[in-house]
Structure 1
Amino acid sequence: MVQEHRADPAAGPSRAAPYPVRRDAEETKAAILRAARYLLARRAHADITLKAVAERAGVSPPLILKYFGNKDALFAHVMSFETDAAALLDAPLDRLGAHMVRHVLLSQAEQGADPLLRIVFAPLHREHGDVLRANFRAQVGDRLAARLPGPDAGLRAELAVGMLLGLGVMYGIVGGRALHTTAIDDVTERYAPAVQRYVTPEDGPGAPVAST
């Protein structure tokens, strides 16, 4: 077991950890990855230091080197959307819109890390931004499109993902007051049908059956 400090997940990256805790190796690596993802969605890659990641994660910089080797190796993990896409798309088609909306909101509210939002800042990251874009298209957009029945699956997938990104920006970057003071279930109920229309067009294959 490795002893370290845990930062308040709602605090900024420079806030000191308030108390010591113990995590196992997997929990520690997950905390480091969450911190790196948080920072990548808010700063240029070149401006992110291992010290900032460590402070955000509540660990020491040498611990990051122990688990990931160096900054480039750490961010190679962060620039992949593979794991995020698996969780985002883990629902039947007729409930996928609601699942995706809820997942985006809960990830930010409970973990401080949107599964998609770091793609918005790809232009900040120069050549690393090209990697982010390529990964996002293949691992999120193309993967969703492959699940969609009916015509124009690629376009519909991109429109659905665009709606999720807009929601993530309003919740996590703009910090919309109304969004933050409204229950996630209520926001999902309002927003998910618009996303679902791209997933399963009305009267199309796989469209949800209307309740009676």
Structure 2
Amino acid sequence: MSAVSTPSPTTTTARRDAEATKAAILRAARYLLARTPHADITLKAVAERAGVSPPLIVKYFGNKDALFARVMSFESDATDLFDAPLDELGRHMVRHVLTGQIERGADPLLRIAFAPIQGAHGDILRVNFRSQVVERLAERLQGPDAGLRAELAVGTLLGLGVMYGIARGTELRASAVEDVVDRYAPTVQAHLTP
């Protein structure tokens, strides 16, 4: 019989710490990308914002270009956003946008709103957003005008994210999440399953 090996608590803790550090670096890079042109962002600035050293960023991501390739990807964000059956997707998406703002202080989809200040890197954001979010959603939809309906649904969500996270609507922010979900989700769902 062979012995079953289990990771030591030290290994598990180190892996968890590494994941937390990578997440902090990505959050810092996203924050800076939303406020600063890509060309002006340094690894040092990302490191300071994340509370780590620049060599640690290089260890985890390789270089600035590799880091920002991850930051400019919407793949994992879309996976979380679309993680519900189609007939419940509107409610899930609205709740996801609001809880992201409340729990993490950010809505990962809103990065697209800052594409204009990013020059050529803004084009990368746009292409990724269209293929990884809008087109991916359209593939799930049935019936006519799936592409248009996907764009309208995502646009509706972005409006909610802007009002909550950027404009900081006082009434919206004072409302219970489920109340906003009850009011807003039918509008999103109408585009998904007309």
Match of 2:155 in 1: 162
What secondary structure sits across from 2:108 in the alignment?
A: coil
Q: Deviations over 1:170-195 (max 9, x none)?
A: 11111111121111111111111100
**Where does residue 37 of structure 2 map in the other structure?**
44
1:186 to 161, 165, 179: 179
Q: Which residue of 2 aligns with 1:59?
A: 52
- Structure 1 distance, partners of 2:48, 2:180, is 32
Q: Shift of residue 45 of structure 1? A: 1.5
**In the alignment, structure 1 residue 97 sits paired with structure 2 residue 90:** yes
Aligned length: 181
Shift, 1:26, TM fit: 1.5
TM-score (norm 2): 0.88
Q: 2:27 is matched with which residue?
A: 34
Q: Counting strand residues as a fraction of each chain, which structure ranks higher?
A: 1
Partners of 2:193 and 2:61 lie apart in 1 by 41
Distance (whole Å) between structure 1 residues aligned to residue 187 and residue 117 of structure 2: 30
Distance 1:40 1:185 in 2: 31
Unmatched segments (≥5 aa) in structure 1: 2-21, 202-212
RMSD: 1.6
Partner of residue 124, structure 1: 117
Residue in structure 2 matching 1:153, options 138, 146, 152: 146
Q: In structure 1, which of residues 170, 175, 183 is the aligned counterpart of residue 168 of structure 2?
A: 175
Structure 2: 5+ residue stretches without partners: 1-9
Aligned-pair identity in percent equals 76
Return the alpha-carbon distance in structure 2 between the equivalents of residues 61 and 180 of structure 1: 36
Give the residue type in structure 2 aligned to 1:72.
D
CA distance in 1, matches of 2:87, 2:137: 14
Structure holding more helix per residue = 2
Matching residue of 1:137: 130
Deviates more, 1:111-120 or 1:76-85: 111-120
